[in-house]
Amino acid sequence: MTVAVAPEPTAQDVLAAGGTLKSLRDTWVITKRNTLRMMRIPEALLLGMAQPVVFVLLFAYIFAGTFTVPGGGGSMAYREYMMPGFFAQTVAFVTAGNSSIGMANDIQRGMVDRFRSLPISRAALLNGRAAADIVQNCLVIVVMVICAVVVGWRIHRGLGHAILGFLLLLVLGYALSWVGVLIGMAVRTPEAAGSGNFLWLFPLTFLSNAFVTPSTLPAVLRFAAEWNPISATIQACRNQFGNPSLMQTHTFPMLHPALVSLLWSVGIAVICRTLAVRKYSSVGA
């Protein structure tokens, strides 16, 4: 008489049995891990925040006097005009840089292989990184707001509208974090990941309405700037904060910036997350 012995459950069997709840727990563990690692290296966080603060001070006290905002207000009006652009630019650079370099580090140090061997959700490592980026973006925005208030930036439409503007910034940051994750898995070293971000972040942020109105650009560049996801988010934030917008065009993104910003962010997040999960299945294998 033989006794049938049940086979040992594989990692995939354990994962399937856990379902959505287990996937959320795995994501929370990875998010906590990435957040704690960020807090334990405060010098990296502080240095990452120092650059945007220096940019704000340079534009506020050196370059602002050379720009004019229609309707008057002098350099103070331009400071209010430029700050939503700096908010979006900082969120984009900090988020994408942190995601891509962090992901490349995990691959180089063998963390991806270790996590793949464990019975955890296949996307938990990626979801946890993107979620940790939201925490970092909240800290960055707080620092940027303090710096903005110091140089004269103000909110003129109330707390509710301001919260909506900051939420749009966080949603955009979440979307761009998936771009960073994808880049981090596509390159071989953290150094390459850091350099690769500049190839798309600089055109994306500077070819926008962050510092000048798109109406001053040639036709092709004006079209690109008006339909830029960064431009839509900046325009929406200016509307919500009550800051000068200099809107001299009547294209759909500039007339409905909050909607376009949200659509851009959701589209980028869905596409890049899907590609990142697929790439994660093969990277390092």
3-state SS string for 115-175: HHHCCCCCCHHHHHHHHHHHHHHHHHHHHHHHHHHHHCCCCCCCHHHHHHHHHHHHHHHHH
What is the residue-level pLDDT of the chain in tens, covering all 285 positions? 444 444 444 444 444 445 678 888 888 988 888 888 877 777 777 777 787 888 888 877 877 666 666 555 566 777 888 889 889 998 998 888 888 888 888 888 888 778 777 788 777 888 888 888 888 889 889 989 999 998 888 898 889 999 999 999 999 999 999 999 999 888 878 888 888 888 888 888 888 888 778 877 888 988 999 999 999 999 999 999 988 776 666 789 888 999 999 999 999 999 999 999 888 877 655
Helix, strand, or coil (residue 256): coil
Domain ranges within the chain, ordered by starting residue = 19-282
Output the pLDDT for position 20. 77
Conformation bin of residue 153: beta by default, left when phi > 0, alpha when psi is -120 to 50: beta
Q: 């939420």: which residue's tokens?
A: 167
Helix, strand, or coil (residue 67): coil
Global confidence as pTM:
0.85
Output the pLDDT for position 1. 44
The rounded distance, in Å, linking the Cα atoms of 130 and 93 is: 14
Output the pLDDT for position 16. 46
CA 105 to chain centre: 19
